[in-house]
Structure 1
Amino acid sequence: MPLFNVYPLYDVTPVSGNGVYVYDEKGVEFLDLYGGHAVISIGHAHPKYVKAVTDQVTKLGFYSNAIQNPLQKELADKIEKLSGCKDYELFLCNSGAEANENALKLASFKTGKSRIVAFRNGFHGRTSAAVAATDNPSIIAPINAQQQVTILELNDISGVKAELEKGDVCAVIVEFIQGVGGLDQGTSDFFEQVYALCKANDTMFIADEVQSGYGRSGKFFAFQHYNVTPDIISIAKGMGNGFPIGGILIHPDIEAKFGMLGTTFGGNHLACAAGLSVLNVIEEQKLMDNVNEMSEYFIKLAKTIPQIKNIKGRGLMLGLEFDFEVGDLRKKLIYEHHIFTGGASNKKLLRILPPLTIRKEHINMFFEALIETLAEVEA
């Protein structure tokens, strides 16, 4: 049976990984500066991660949410401790799309409204309301398009004000650093005014931290660079270091009711074990400090390369923008220098999303390869 052909694939077959490296079936080593869409947070096959998952699966891999699972409470407490998001409540699911889907559903339950405000070049997932709030018509099927969504430009505060004052918006959903869209960010003033407008108009303010969360921005959450308090925070990618897990943090002003949200696999024993090991490593290895140090070093080197026209993002969620499309550049980095990088809807942007354990020697390797490749491209 053939696979449903929806992914354009590079001719690389990773079979193992270690730290910031992956290895193909021939034993070729690749430097991973993309982490599988920012999923690999603490490095491939981290020994504490491997041990936690292995130990748990030998005991109990899964049971439903109809029983007590103390690992869920332990995970919730650890997230609260490291994030500083006091008094929020945790609902666990399986992915970023599911996290945003539940966030939007909860906002609609809370407000009794149904329209969503989202932003140009935003990406929130591929399911129902999450994909409808995503600024990419090519992935929105007619069944998704029935959702009521208004897409505005980032920093258009007058547009946000006008839409919220109509009284039918249940949620404003925002990436504080856009991922697939190309690392664009709103201004501090914009985010803080949007937050105030949400409060004034009975609208939930949703922080999509699926890609930017878990220390990637240099703080635990990217919204913490601003003076805002989201009603709901969605999380996923780096949360499980490759194990499927997602969730939402819910402000205590939103009251839970039996049956309001639900999931079969969300918050299962294996997922919680994986999630706890990630948080423990982030804490023990002081990875958020490393993010800030490595980000500063990366940006310093990037500024020395004249072909780089713009450096976007924060922490280890970075983009290098050129005045040409980077598809061929990425291929050369993969096939000739064995380095994974990422693309974006902005075809001139190279995305850098390495494990948070990256060191200066790995950054040096990348820039040496980039300089050589740029010289070849220009020639």
Structure 2
Amino acid sequence: MADLFNVYPLYDIEPVRAQGSYLWDANGTRYLDLYGGHAVISVGHTHPRYVRALTDQLNKISFYSNSVQIPQQQELADKLGELSGHPDYALFLCNSGAEANENALKLASFHNGRTEVVAFTKAFHGRTAGAVAATDNLAIVAPVNYNKHVKFLPYNDVAAAVAGITDQTCAVIIESIQGVGGIQVASDEFLRAIRKRCDETGAVLILDEVQCGYGRAGKFFAYQFSGIEADIISMAKGMGNGFPIGGILISPKFKASYGLLGTTFGGNHLACTAGIAVLDIMKEEGLIENAVRVGDYLLDGIRQIGGYKELRGRGLIIGIEYEFPVDSLRKTLLFDHKQFTGVAGKHTIRLLPSLALGTDEADLFLEALRKEVSVLS
């Protein structure tokens, strides 16, 4: 049997079945999923409407290239524009968040002819060439990815952003809430200052909403709390509830031309069907509102438990930072309490559950956390 190259699973578990906010392994043990496969499971595992939509589409046509008309693309664009509050933005579909950010950076450079990119400390934008170059993580930046045109500024530092964004800047790329960086939330003042400075210099503002967007923070996009507008918005993870799909929403200031952006698999019939089902479920079941309600419930419960260094997040993207390394806590939650959680760095537990998570399920986590924190403290 061939070996797998450089695969380090976070969990020593093999899920074989899933439903809602739960997973089952081959032994029939049930686990509460508070991580959602890196924020991918937005409407819950195997939602009946989602499964039915993909099954029906699979029985018709699963794929053809963008050389033909794919009506599901327009339906997805219309519904996404309505629910996100961006009906006048164009949609380009691809396959992942990294690919979305690659196309966003390329489009920005085509637009103003510049090369310099401003990114921020602890940023994570993906594992392809341009996305890696704008990622502040030397562990994944190979020599071929190094780009002298990318400069990193301190996150949430208004003065540094104003000084660092100049008339040489092609694009500013920023996560409204940093996921891998530890659930760091950009302040409204910070985002507004960046928007203003981009307007002054002609730089393109790219909001990376791959992890924090799609309703997770309590608005459709996390940056919308600040009241600003993005030039380009990158999306993926929660778009397809597990089916690979990504995309960028593009301001009307950008003009499309033949061959400017392209993709083989992006926007295929199955991917768009998954995306449409997700938006329909989010709207009909009020999942963005639920993310606010249950997110606030979790944050209040965690505050009552205490014992942490810092609590960060909005809605159902939550980071709990402790003074101690959290790997043993994560493993205890997994093996003793049957709960999946994530980590961000050595000291932060990361919660990214389905937007359909209920308060009863939140209570299971809070009960487990209360017990383990009392032991650790």
TM-score normalised by L of structure 2 = 0.98
Match status 1:135 vs 2:133: no
The one-letter amino acid paired with 1:309 is K
Q: Which region of structure 1 is more displaced relative to structure 2, 153-162 or 60-69?
A: 153-162
- Structure 1 unmatched runs, 5+: none
Residue number in structure 1 paired with 2:344: 344
Deviation, 1:357, is 0.5
- Aligned residues of 1:71 and 1:272 also touching (Cα < 8 A): yes
Specify whether residues 52 and 317 from structure 1 end up closer, same or farther in structure 2 by C-alpha distance, changes over 3 A only: same
- Aligned residues of 2:123 and 2:180 also touching (Cα < 8 A): yes
- Aligned residues of 2:158 and 2:189 also touching (Cα < 8 A): no
User: Matched residues in 2 for 1:69 and 1:140: separation?
Assistant: 37
Q: Percent identity?
A: 52
The one-letter amino acid paired with 2:350 is R
Residue number in structure 2 paired with 1:37: 38
Residue number in structure 1 paired with 2:352: 353
Query: SS of the residue aligned with 2:190?
Result: helix
Residue number in structure 2 paired with 1:189: 189
Match status 1:207 vs 2:207: yes
Residue number in structure 1 paired with 2:220: 220
Which aligned segments of 4 or more residues in structure 1 are displaced greater than 3 angstroms? Answer: 375-378
Deviation, 1:147, is 5.1
Residue number in structure 1 paired with 2:285: 285
Q: Which region of structure 1 is more displaced relative to structure 2, 299-308 or 280-289?
A: 299-308
Q: Which region of structure 1 is more displaced relative to structure 2, 88-97 or 135-144?
A: 135-144
Superimposed CA distance per residue, residues 68-95 of structure 1 (whole angstroms, 9 cap, x where no aligned partner)? 0010000000001101113000000000
User: Matched residues in 2 for 1:161 and 1:282: separation?
Assistant: 37
The one-letter amino acid paired with 1:349 is T
Query: SS of the residue aligned with 1:173?
Result: strand
Residue number in structure 1 paired with 2:371: 372
**Superposition pairs for residues 70-109 of structure 1, below 5 Å?**
70-109=71-110
User: Matched residues in 1 for 2:158 and 2:32: separation?
Assistant: 41
- Aligned residues of 1:95 and 1:246 also touching (Cα < 8 A): yes
User: Matched residues in 2 for 1:107 and 1:11: separation?
Assistant: 41
Deviation, 1:5, is 2.2
The one-letter amino acid paired with 2:205 is F
**Superposition pairs for residues 145-184 of structure 1, below 5 Å?**
145-146=146-147, 148-165=149-166, 167-184=167-184
Query: SS of the residue aligned with 1:238?
Result: helix
Deviation, 1:10, is 2.4
User: Matched residues in 1 for 2:174 and 2:58: separation?
Assistant: 36
Superimposed CA distance per residue, residues 38-60 of structure 1 (whole angstroms, 9 cap, x where no aligned partner)? 00000000000100110001100
Query: SS of the residue aligned with 1:311?
Result: strand
Match status 1:234 vs 2:251: no
Deviation, 1:313, is 0.8
Deviation, 1:37, is 0.4
- Structure 2 unmatched runs, 5+: none
TM-score normalised by L of structure 1 = 0.97
Residue number in structure 1 paired with 2:335: 335
Deviation, 1:185, is 1.9
- Aligned residues of 2:162 and 2:193 also touching (Cα < 8 A): no
User: Matched residues in 1 for 2:82 and 2:252: separation?
Assistant: 16
- Aligned residues of 2:109 and 2:171 also touching (Cα < 8 A): yes
Deviation, 1:227, is 2.1
- Aligned residues of 1:129 and 1:147 also touching (Cα < 8 A): no
Residue number in structure 2 paired with 1:296: 296
Number of corresponding residues: 376
